[in-house]
């Protein structure tokens, strides 16, 4: 069908032909339709940058993630490979683990957020863990933490809300998965802004808030993916609780209770 100059020729059974032209009303409806389609197209184009800023609303995680890898001293970049290949070969890379905490109303006690890893992740599927993210090209520690909070939990925090704990080399195997972790990891914490809603991405099947004492029970059982990762979570928990105690908050756990563990920052 054509545009506004279109003429339709109808051939009735009787002799002759009748020229049928669009009525003014029909012409007006068609023009309105075209205008609406144009408005929708323009809105979609200008909306893309805002979607990109939202992190997990983009296709970034839908594609195979490619990350920079480094020499054994984490000083010099030596290439870029997929995150799956990084874990298969145990290649050196950067990342962060972020502990999000909230205060229990009316008390000095705190709870930590854990995220359940979905089937779209490659390791530790179905296990609960702190928020985490891999480092990308030319990304500082603070930017990496803020991106982890945004992409993993849909939270938008400012730099001053992030508290840096320490940097440590995380090196361990993933049981039965023919993969290993070789990550220089920035440990950080942040208080949950209760005026924002949690919005987990496709790598998570949701989250839950747990007390540090309940978390340490799971650490002792070794059920947070495997024994090595459970131990790591326990060491991070002790370090976070040590920092929170300086704020007058109560984790109800301390390093003296767990003789086999040291706070993560005191290991190196």
- In tens, the pLDDT along 206-265 reads 999 999 999 999 998 888 888 888 999 999 999 999 999 999 999 888 666 665 677 777
* Token pair belonging to 245: 């105690």
Interatomic CA distance for residues 20 and 122, integer angstroms: 64
Task: For residue range 162-211, list pLDDT tens digits in order.
Answer: 999 999 999 988 766 788 999 999 999 999 999 999 999 888 889 999 99
* Token pair belonging to 224: 């947070």
Residues 82 and 64 sit within 8 Å (Cβ to Cβ)? yes
Interatomic CA distance for residues 214 and 217, integer angstroms: 5
pLDDT at 101: 98
Task: For residue range 33-89, list pLDDT tens digits in order.
Answer: 667 777 766 555 444 333 333 344 433 444 568 999 999 999 999 999 998 899 999
Contacts of 92 (CB under 8 A, 6+ apart): 69, 70, 71, 72, 74, 182, 183, 184
* Phi, psi dihedral angles at 176 (to 5 degrees): 65, 15
* Token pair belonging to 34: 């075209």
* Phi, psi dihedral angles at 139 (to 5 degrees): -115, 125
Tell me which residue of 120, 151, 121, 112 sits closest to 241, measured CA to CA. Answer: 112
pLDDT at 42: 56
Characterize 242-264 residue by residue with b for buried, 16 or more Cβ atoms within 10 angstroms of its Cβ, and e for exposed: bbbeeeebbbebeeeebeebebb
Q: Which residue has the tokens 């309940």?
A: 214
Of the CA atoms within 13 Å of residue 252, those in its CB half-sphere come to 16
Q: What pTM did the predictor assign?
A: 0.74
- Give the torsion sign (CA, 56, 187, 109, 116): positive
Residues 144 and 133 sit within 8 Å (Cβ to Cβ)? yes
């Amino acid at each position: 069908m054509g545009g506004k100059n279109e003429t339709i020729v109808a051939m009735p059974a009787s002799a002759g032909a009748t020229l049928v032209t669009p009525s003014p009303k029909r012409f007006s409806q068609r023009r309105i339709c075209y205008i609406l389609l144009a408005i929708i197209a323009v809105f979609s184009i200008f909306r893309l940058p805002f979607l990109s800023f939202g992190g997990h609303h983009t296709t970034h995680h839908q594609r195979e993630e490619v990350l920079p890898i480094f020499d054994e001293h984490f000083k010099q970049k030596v290439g870029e490979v997929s995150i799956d290949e990084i874990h298969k070969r145990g290649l050196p890379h950067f990342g962060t683990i972020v502990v999000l905490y909230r205060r229990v109303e009316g008390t000095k006690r705190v709870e930590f957020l854990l995220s359940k890893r979905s089937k779209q992740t490659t390791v530790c599927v179905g296990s609960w863990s702190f928020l985490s993210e891999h480092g990308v090209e030319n990304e500082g520690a603070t930017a990496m933490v803020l991106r982890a909070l945004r992409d993993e939990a849909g939270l938008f925090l400012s730099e001053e809300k992030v508290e840096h704990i320490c940097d440590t080399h995380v090196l361990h195997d993933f049981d039965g998965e023919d993969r290993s972790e070789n990550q220089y990891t920035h440990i950080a914490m942040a208080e949950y802004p209760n005026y924002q809603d949690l919005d987990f991405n496709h790598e998570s099947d949701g989250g839950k808030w747990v007390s540090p004492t309940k978390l340490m029970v799971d650490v002792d059982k070794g059920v947070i993916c495997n024994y090595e990762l459970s131990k790591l979570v326990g060491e991070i928990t002790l370090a976070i609780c040590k920092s929170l105690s300086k704020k007058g908050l109560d984790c109800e756990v301390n390093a003296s209770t767990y003789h086999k563990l040291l706070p993560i920052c005191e290991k190196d």
